[in-house]
Structure 1
Amino acid sequence: MRTSRKITAAVTMVLAAVSVASPSASADARAETAAAYKYRAHHDVSVQRVWDRVPTKASGLRPVVLTVGRQSVQERWAMFSDNRPGPDWHLTVTARGEAAYQGAFDKFTAMGYQPTMVTATGSGPDATFTAIWEKKAGRGTARHGIDAGQFSAANLNARRDGYIPVSVNVYGTSSSPRMVAVWAENPSRVSWSVTTSVPASEYQRVFDARVSAGYRPSAIAVEPGGLSYTTIWRNDKIGRWYAFHGMSAAQYQARFDEMTAKGLYPAWIDMENGVYAAIFGAR
């Protein structure tokens, strides 16, 4: 694997994109700060364990980001929840197949909820979809079961209609990948772009070029096989942030510990084939 690299992009932010060797591990983390900020984080969690780790509304926690991916032949979840304020929410964990996800979409949108993040893994009727739904103002749109060409066309339509992509995930197989994505209104007219299926060997170069142009990754999808990435880039300012890719479960845990010690928390997590990508920022 490649050695780690750290890049200083500007005086206001420090970026890191890493891929270093380390044995896999499974871990949960839970912490509370003196300022009453509470969070819970889990990764490398099986379907048997994920249900016990979904936050309840009574706990005061809400899901911020989650992912489901394949590690060998098994599904594994990662999730980060905290007690920051926000609209009413629901979480669907295991919608099996595109028809089941469509049913969940129809149900929750009819109730006034919008998907804010959707993650999927597997292919055909065995594909698993997991989504966060929030009851919030503003319009949104979503697509699933589309290929790279259809995703590109959907982004052109979104730009024309004043939307910005807020979530993207890639499922299916390496030879036949499929996209699930969500777009939201973009009243601030934030400039954005998307790079699709960038090989892992080229991703650092693309990362460097995008950051040099003033963009940051807001979502990184590890594609089936863990050998390429699809990324949403935004040209806006959020203060300090760090982005990592090409990590094992153990490396993700190490970065989680490092980042939370700095007061930075997961804003995005994705995993496929045991390969993690994550973005950390201030709460």
Structure 2
Amino acid sequence: MKKYIIAGVATVAAAGVAVPVAASQTGGHSAKSAAPVAATAAAAKGTPFVEYHGKTAAYHVGQYKKLSKSGYRLVSLNVSDRAHPKYAAVWLKKSGPAFTEVIGQSRAKFQKTFDGLRKKGYQPTVVTATGPSASALYSGVFEKKGGKFFSWGDLSAAKLASYNKYAASHGYIPVSIDAYGTAKSPRYLGVWAANPRKVKWSVSLAKSFSAHDKLFKAQVKKGYRTSYVVVGTGNTYSAIWRNDKVGAWAERTGLTSAQLTAYVNKGRTQGAHPIQIAGGGNVYAGIWTK
């Protein structure tokens, strides 16, 4: 069995950036009580989207069959709770390259599927896993497109740091990350894509809510935004930070399912839509934009 999920560093393609680029960054929030950024008149209708969380694999597969045929694209996918896998997803109605997904596979099977999709010209844009290293379930979204990328799984925090260091020195940027494993042995997986615009970035791991919130405020002051946020063991938060500019955005962490649903519904009335949702235990986190 291969220890890592891998695509060749020098030869294969780039994962899609999770957050669309716009003219300027206008704000963001980490606190539980944060309100969505006010919608402009032009953005009032917003992008059509479908969001759900805490759903079974069967439910998600049913939605995939329906929505993928109705002009929607799967832009966010997350799996949590190894004993009773729960899926969270965000679909946006927009055009783009051909895409497919992989749901609930063992590490060995996911590696085999990964390799097969690479041969067909697909590359991962989202990777997610749940459970201890030896019995983790892997899922992901793959798009058919070109460009350099690399992807690894089953990483310790130290090993992830080494790949981040490699990425920074070789012109890559992380575009997807997830935290899984156990409290004694946390694991990580991710996708790194070519970074031709040389966007500055960093990654934070396993922060408590208060520590993540403190870091969030400091990062925003320095011109950074959260481009990806996930929930790990012990209700901790790991995130990707970037200093490129986007339109109005918001991050929310420490949400119950009911709070997440309320924010999704409120955002819809203001022309805002989620672009990434992640869960862990009974806690959720996400990022919104317009």
Which residue matches 1:281?
289
**TM-score, length-normalised on structure 1?**
0.85
Matched residue of 1:188: which SS?
coil
Alignment counterpart, residue 210 of structure 1, candidates 216, 219, 238: 219
Which residue matches 2:98?
88
Which residue matches 1:160?
169
How far apart are the structure 1 equivalents of 2:134 and 2:202? 31
Cα shift at 1:36: 10
Which residue matches 2:74?
63
The yes-or-no answer on 1:251 pairing with 2:259 is yes
Which residue matches 1:221?
230
Distance 1:35 1:272, change over 3 A: closer
Cα shift at 1:235: 0.1
Unaligned runs of 5+ in 2: 1-23, 34-42
Moved more, 273-282 or 58-67: 58-67
1:108-119 residue pairs with structure 2 within 5 A? 108-119=117-128
Counterpart of 2:97, as a letter, is P
CA contact (8 A) 2:102 2:140 kept: yes
Cα shift at 1:80: 1.1
Counterpart of 2:129, as a letter, is A
Distance 1:175 1:113, change over 3 A: same
Counterpart of 2:210, as a letter, is S
**TM-score, length-normalised on structure 2?**
0.83
How far apart are the structure 2 equivalents of 1:246 and 1:212? 21
The yes-or-no answer on 1:17 pairing with 2:30 is yes
The yes-or-no answer on 1:234 pairing with 2:245 is no
Matched residue of 1:137: which SS?
coil
1:97-112 residue pairs with structure 2 within 5 A? 97-112=106-121
Give 1 or 2: higher strand fraction.
1
Counterpart of 1:186, as a letter, is N
Unaligned runs of 5+ in 1: 1-10, 21-32
User: % of aligned pairs identical?
Assistant: 33
Cα shift at 1:182: 0.2
> Root-mean-square deviation (CA), in Å?
2.1
Which residue matches 1:175?
184
4+ residue segments displaced more than 6 Å: 33-36
Which residue matches 1:26?
none
Counterpart of 1:19, as a letter, is K
CA contact (8 A) 1:168 1:180 kept: yes
